[in-house]
Amino acid sequence: MILEIIQKGTQSLFVYQDGQLLFYSVLKFNWINRIINIYNQNDDLFLELKCRSFFMKSNYQILFQNQSLTPFINEINSRTITFNNDKHLTVNQKHFISFNYNYYFRDTKIAELKKKIFSTSFKMILDINDENLEFSNQIIMHILSIETGVSVD
């Protein structure tokens, strides 16, 4: 499955599949922290996070999670997303200095994210292996959580 993630403005990301909106994120911020809200195509709030950044490290606290979001997300950080209390996806960059990264479940690559930052608009292409589509919502929630508000403008 191929998804396109497009930045609109400096504080929102929109996820599309075949031109149809799936999810989008909105950022509210002040000097201390950021609040990231993630909605589905029907404007239903799916996930609300508080993010505090200090230098290169960000901490995410889940403030709200829609009950229809299954499996339940327990924790998000820049390198992993944990769900159902015992499963987690990890993120690894392809190279030491790279804008692209891969998602892994139990040492198996399940998705690849490619960023296109040198085009007229910032966008990302997410390619999820067809046999791992059950992780698509978790991967999308992770990307919208860690990439929202990371402006390249």
Give me the CATH number covering residue 73.
Answer: 2.40.160
User: Structural domain of residue 36, as residue ranges?
Assistant: 2-147
Within-domain flag for 60: yes
Within-domain flag for 82: yes
Q: State the sign of the Cα–Cα–Cα–Cα dihedral 33, 118, 144, 139.
A: negative
The beta-carbon contacts of 75-83 under 8 Å, at least 24 apart in sequence, are 76/49, 76/141, 76/142, 76/145, 76/146, 78/146, 81/138, 81/139, 81/141, 81/142, 83/138
Render pLDDT for 52-70 as a digit per residue (tens, 0 to 9): 877 667 889 999 999 887 7
Render pLDDT for 90-130 as a digit per residue (tens, 0 to 9): 998 665 556 788 999 999 999 999 988 766 668 999 999 99
The SS3 of residue 130 is: helix
Within-domain flag for 153: no
The answer to whether residues 3 and 15 touch, using CB atoms and an 8 Å cutoff, is: yes
What is the total count of domains within the chain?
Answer: 1
Whether this prediction's pTM lies above 0.85 is answered by yes
Within-domain flag for 43: yes
